Amino acid sequence: MTFELFKEKVKASLGFDLNGYKEKQLLRRLHGLMARRQVADYAAYYRLLAADPAAQREFIDYLTINVTEFFRDPHLFRYLEERVLPELLARKPHLRVWSAACSNGAEPYSLAIVLEELAPGRHHRIEATDLDPGILEVARAGRYPADLLRHVSPARRGRFFRQEDNAWVVRDEIRRRVTFRV
């Protein structure tokens, strides 16, 4: 089986599109997984993925990158806050938003915070999805180390988070606005 055929079969059976990855990086990671499982070629590795849910989880976990933080790319959030969302809110009082590849939930929670600031009390819903069930558990817990809040102002931190031990926890009013699922 060629690498191209492997990618097609993975997309068809697992719904995981590998075409968006840099090929050199993807091959390095894929060959590392294959070596770890002592699989010699793409056909054998595909058969393993098709038959073994644990191998599927390992494959997806290893290839997906769960790196994010609150208000990552502040200039983009400012643009959303100043230009995009006010226009949408003027046309529609309650927004439904999909946050794909949401990772640990920091970005959908950031969006929920902005929506609460722009339109307090309105019933906005954010559907946040990710392929990694483990990282979604982190997102649902809403508990983060301080370094992931480096772009959160002290005012927002005080209003939308509470400190517990060495972590910051998203307040319930924001957590209720975001639903996480695979």
User: Could you give the domains of the chain?
Assistant: 3-63 (no CATH), 74-181 (3.40.50.150)
Q: Which residues are catalytic?
A: 29, 130
Q: Return the biggest CA–CA distance within the chain.
A: 57
- pLDDT tens readout for residues 4-14: 999 999 888 88
- The mean pLDDT value for 63-81 works out to 84
Check residues 15 and 83 and name the one with the higher pLDDT. 83
Residues in Cβ contact with 147 at an 8 Å cutoff, skipping those fewer than 6 apart: 69
Across 106-130, b (16+ Cβ under 10 Å) vs e yields: bbbbbbbbbbbebbeeeebebebeb
Q: Confidence class of residue 65 from pLDDT cuts 50, 70 and 90?
A: low
pTM reported for the whole predicted model: 0.70
In the chain, DSSP assigns E strands to 96-99, 125-129, 143-145, 161-164, 167-170, 178-181
Using the predicted structure, report yes or no on whether residue 67 has a pLDDT greater than 70.
Answer: no
